[in-house]
Chain A
């Protein structure tokens, strides 16, 4: 009897120690949002926990770091997270290698703005979910600053150049336009806006598909006729770390700042914000965030459920916190007033994918780096374009 009891006890202990036997199911979400962006995202995860009873942990990794970490993890058939926010090119690349769980059937195209899911499809199969997007509408300014100095939004290119000239003469202004710099992406956003405006949306698509060359006369003229003269005139500041540039611009060291719509959640008084696109703009970058479920998640069903939640109901919660534009069909009254204004800028223009995020890989890093060179040495524009084309080949 005693021996039987011992055997039963050992058996019970063995069952209890089996992985997942008594452990609470816990999913891990990874994205690059930290600080205020993370604070705005947490209510979304809390809502999922409340609805499903599944616990969710959140971890912060920048996409640049994930690009290094994940391939090694995937080769070892493991993953640091169950739902990971990442560049779309990275998701489709690793989907082809079998490292991503298929999401076909979990999300319907009709529930999203047209084409929103295309970036994470391969051969009509869906490999990820789409989240809210950030619009990169143009140059932000402080309404109070413009009012104080009698400035107004430009309607033509000449007016834009004249505005820069006026800003340059204002005492205390270091340069008319603050050039944000991180790893290089704020400069790429500015450049993409110039290309979309003065070469047109089709050229942007052509550059993404590699059907248009960076040395093409149309692309080259955007640089030589528009960007380089502004740089040579000193209208752009030298690249400044982008959060520092935000503070400097907000306190009046610079007149304009090109940034995405998330800026509305990063300033003290969003009501003082004004924004305009370059005159004649035909296309604005609307860059959604994408997420995927790695094939090596311990809880595939729950992870899929979470990703579907994030892509749908989660978006509604997220946009209410400001700075995000939904790709899911969310009612307009879910947005704060300032974001309704940003969303309205998209009317009548083509919503373009983010050029460098779509191409990705080494080219993206080269694009950022070459633009940093162009910003301080505009005379080397031909060399920059040749390097970009060489990397694109």
Chain B
């Protein structure tokens, strides 16, 4: 009994900090999202108003092209970035596991991860610049007219997604590398003795045994993409014409350009709900059984 009371006492400071800096702001944000800027209680009407804005969802995009609205742009980002990050990270980790100099190559790949996202955004801006960028120069070798890829509505979002792969793939590579170290050698040895091909070993041993790691990579990448802001803010500011706008940037625009904290709270709450809905089942599916 005394031991339980002692534990409870030690638990209180952490609980108080959590309540003050996490629970209260979250609750207050949700509360704020139900009010209009004039202070009237609007409940879900606020959500309908904000989420139907063309900045969030613009169905005209399906006829004329970008922009489709920040929500669709986030979806495109997730659909492209998530599988590519997982696959590339896994491929890098497996290929570089046993080869000579693999650690050096891993370190080079990891540089993208240690680059601050704001700096990464600036680098991306110049990387895709028609006058000085390496990407348009390389594309010019294949007959494409050199142009600033982040300046055009049809290429801006895809350029940022490609750039973000460079910045985020190292994360999955490192996690997969650590995961590979946990697979006992005798499993592979047994498979080789049984005559399994390298592909079979990869798909029947490596991939299943890395399932918990994949869960973490998928969830963390999903959350990172969902709240992506800094790269977009620095590289394109969501432009041109909103063609690379994302939800977190729109939240910033509502809060600090329009000075409309209620609309910003709607977007923040929406992002939080999506994050919870996706991440909890993913975590459970990946490692819950263990």
A contact residues vs B (CB 8 Å cutoff): 67-68, 71, 181, 183-184, 238-241, 244, 248, 361-362, 364-365, 368-370, 372-377, 380, 383-384, 387, 390
Majority-rule SS of A interface residues: helix
19 contacts between A and B (CB under 8 A): A67-B256, A183-B237, A184-B237, A238-B130, A238-B147, A238-B151, A238-B152, A241-B125, A244-B132, A362-B257, A362-B258, A370-B241, A372-B239, A373-B242, A375-B240, A376-B153, A377-B240, A387-B54, A387-B241
Q: Determine whether the beta carbon of A376 is less than 8 Å from that of B259.
A: no
Which one of B129, B237, B240, B256 lies within 8 Å of A376 (CB-CB)? Answer: B240
Cross-chain pair count, CB within 8 angstroms: 76
B contact residues vs A (CB 8 Å cutoff): 54, 64, 125, 129-132, 147-148, 151-153, 237-243, 252-253, 256-259
Q: Determine whether the beta carbon of A365 is less than 8 Å from that of B253.
A: yes
Q: Determine whether the beta carbon of A184 is less than 8 Å from that of B256.
A: no
Which residues of A lie under 8 Å from residue B241 when comparing CB positions?
369-370, 372-374, 377, 380, 383-384, 387
Q: A238-B147, A240-B148, A365-B253 are in contact. Are A373 and B259 (CB under 8 A)?
A: no
B265: shortest Cβ distance to chain A, in Å? 15
Q: Determine whether the beta carbon of B257 is less than 8 Å from that of A369.
A: no
- A67 to B132 CA separation, bound complex (whole angstroms): 31
Which one of B148, B153, B242, B257 lies within 8 Å of A67 (CB-CB)? Answer: B257
Q: Determine whether the beta carbon of B148 is less than 8 Å from that of A239.
A: yes
- A372 to B240 CA separation, bound complex (whole angstroms): 5
A312: shortest Cβ distance to chain B, in Å? 32
Q: Determine whether the beta carbon of B239 is less than 8 Å from that of A240.
A: no
Nearest CB in chain B to that of A69: its residue: B256
Nearest CB in chain A to that of B239: its residue: A369
Which residues of B lie under 8 Å from residue A240 when comparing CB positions?
129-131, 148
Which residues of A lie under 8 Å from residue B131 when comparing CB positions?
240, 244, 248
- A383 to B242 CA separation, bound complex (whole angstroms): 12
B250: shortest Cβ distance to chain A, in Å? 10
Q: Determine whether the beta carbon of A241 is less than 8 Å from that of B129.
A: yes
Which residues of B lie under 8 Å from residue A71 when comparing CB positions?
256, 259
Which residues of A lie under 8 Å from residue B152 when comparing CB positions?
238, 376-377
Q: Determine whether the beta carbon of A361 is less than 8 Å from that of B258.
A: yes
Which one of B54, B148, B237 lies within 8 Å of A369 (CB-CB)? Answer: B237
- A369 to B240 CA separation, bound complex (whole angstroms): 5
